[in-house]
Chain A
């Protein structure tokens, strides 16, 4: 059994990272040339890591399933990126960013990792500006900031509502430069199918060329997974259609542990679901809560009339509106963290105050800000978001309040990693959303971009180098080795099995069914009964999938249905683990809300005595997992109940 050793450096939390860097091992330039690194995924974490390793002189191979590395889903992040620059002089500091992030995560993240994240945040902004990222500016030419949920300072840097796009294009440009210089080899339209282990270490991957359908073998002295989150286990989410958990799941089958899978983030401001044919949900940036006020009708009869289309939002007078976030949380108001805002919206809708045709929506209203600041200011700040809303809903949000509802957005859980971002498999590193380490049970807005780039630019280049310093005598391995052959065989067998079923239902059918089970039983409000039932339903569905899925075409050609089937097969296993983890965690914290554990006011009731640990799950067999616990030790910060009132 692998021991969970988080390898946190000694010393006060503020000096741990400096101590680590001062004592880590390095690789000299001539040896760097002899070492190969595989990176899977080209989002913020993957692209920035690959570029940085290329600059250092390592040989890098990087993979993505999209047609270009610039398409990775980091591109869709809207609102911004946090850093502790304190330019507005409003009381920010590295410590405060660390504290807010730790508290925002409901004290379920590792102190030392979060501090390091806050510590490197400022260097990220410097790096991005130097790359030519066109951040918003003040008239004097300096950088502009805005505020985000869970903070009382303005520390969020942004490029209109397209911050993720601009940061990703920055990392993509750095990556492109290294590709041109020959330091990085790019494999687009390639999907990782399995991890190759040699003598207990990660030594390569099996990838499928999605155009030819051929399986290919690649060797690396180290493998980095930066493959994003598993939100699509819910089918409807704000993730891209191709976002999947398969790389993580295959790594898990080789011995990596999956940590805190039940910590999933439901984002409060998304465009509500409107039909069965719907394939994805669209986020409306959290930044909108800076200027938008959230409300539902105060009277049930008004809500009812609204649902029947007899009473418009605009026609409900001020005194009949319930600004429930401002009422319940006067200190943070509309800027409470995401988990709190989502639950509050669900509570109002469940109580019968929801609006819109389905009753599963609340209003996000800009009338007051437009009056106070003028339409042009709102347009300048959120123009592209308003346009996006109008295209989807066919209603003008400058005139009518937006309708929003929570939707699955982000996965705080991921593969377990130590302080060096190394998984329980030696030589396998995990970065960005794919790991579990920094956001605890709830991620604050504008912190995902920060973490992705922190891992890629400023953490992995140190920690992977420390690992590789002991690998300088390991020569490149031939991919004819039996371990590569066996891994390829595993992939072939699985695809052959999938293709041989020739049942009656499409892959999407099963994915949608899984999504319904997950949302219903493992969604925003979880109970012991619901989770137990959910697990049984997932198992049943998995059985049906493996006996009744229909995949047209052949495995050795471009076959989109086969790609989807591979991913959904893994989601059908991962979903069960997610529910199992939620069932195991008999407390409510962050994005994980167990209805049995709440305060009389309906807030999360944490159980620090019994659950202040990271739940790291080991794969034993299909549907069978072993729990390992990493106790969380807080040396620097007092663990308190989270209060945004």
Chain B
């Protein structure tokens, strides 16, 4: 395949960025999208130019590090995959592909396609856990959990924290990410004792960090590589209202 790439290049957080056009020839359709970028970088190094910086690590769709906005969609044109699992067979010979970083105020660009997502860590630190110390646990099977609840909890827990939901949202809302963690614990008996405190703290942190509100377009769900359901947002709202009522 022969391709034209329009890639966002930005020197650092303070500089102004711009699109730079590159062309690539003879790309195999079995190549992954990131391997295609590797080939581009190899050619840039040969020409003594600076390679394109992008985040990636596991390259099997689970670490959540890759974060490319490809042709106007987080993680690109395929459904329910991360950019590292996207393969070039999803494109056509002669295509022009636009690659940008996540665009959201709480995710500032570090360089080129790399953004800072420590805001997500801060939200988890605000309350995304069950407060149990090592060694302080009871026998595992003393907590019986109905299979459907465990399955729903697992559905929510599958979130990889990549931030595609925020990048997809016109409000840069983090509701899908936050609600996935709230739901995982709210659905389990172990998570109930701290449920109201957790939702209050995490939502407050989310707001303080500048993430927008939810206006129910569900772009987050459509673009989530792990197909996290928007029903988690409803569950979080319910938890929030109940918590607020009981606090007041």
Task: Report which A residues bind B (CB closer than 8 A).
Answer: 48, 51-52, 55, 66-73, 75-76, 85, 87, 123, 125-132, 134-143, 159-160, 162, 165-166, 169, 172-174, 176-177, 179-180, 186, 188, 211, 238, 240-242, 274-275, 277-280, 282-283, 387-388, 391-392, 394, 457-458, 461, 506, 508-509, 550, 552-553, 558, 560-561
Contact = CB atoms under 8 A, between A and B. Distances in A.
Nearest to B12: A558
B134 to A, nearest CB: 4
A561 B87 contact: no
A128 B190 CA distance: 11
B60 A127 contact: no
Interface string B120-138: 1100111011111111111
Nearest to B124: A176
A130 B85 contact: no
Given A211-B110, A388-B85, A68 B161 contact: yes
A66 B65 CA distance: 8
Contact of B59 (A174, A240, A558): A240
A586 to B, nearest CB: 37
A278 B35 contact: yes
B173 interface: no
Nearest to B147: A137
B171 interface: no
B48 interface: yes
B46 A506 contact: yes
Given A67-B55, A134-B154, A176-B121, 12 more contacts: A67-B65, A134-B153, A138-B147, A142-B144, A174-B132, A180-B125, A275-B28, A277-B28, A394-B87, A457-B134, A457-B135, A558-B53
Contacts of B30: 274-275, 394
B133 A55 contact: yes
Given A126-B137, A141-B146, A561-B51, A131 B85 contact: no
Contacts of B111: 558
A275 B143 CA distance: 49
Nearest to A276: B28
Contact of B140 (A143, A275, A560): A143
Interface string B210-245: 000000000000000000000000000000000000
Contacts of A72: 63
Nearest to B133: A55
B206 interface: no
B118 A188 contact: yes
A277 B31 contact: yes
23 contacts: A51-B134, A71-B57, A87-B141, A129-B190, A131-B190, A137-B151, A143-B141, A165-B158, A169-B157, A172-B124, A176-B124, A240-B57, A274-B30, A275-B31, A277-B35, A277-B39, A279-B32, A387-B80, A457-B135, A506-B46, A550-B48, A558-B12, A558-B114
A551 to B, nearest CB: 9
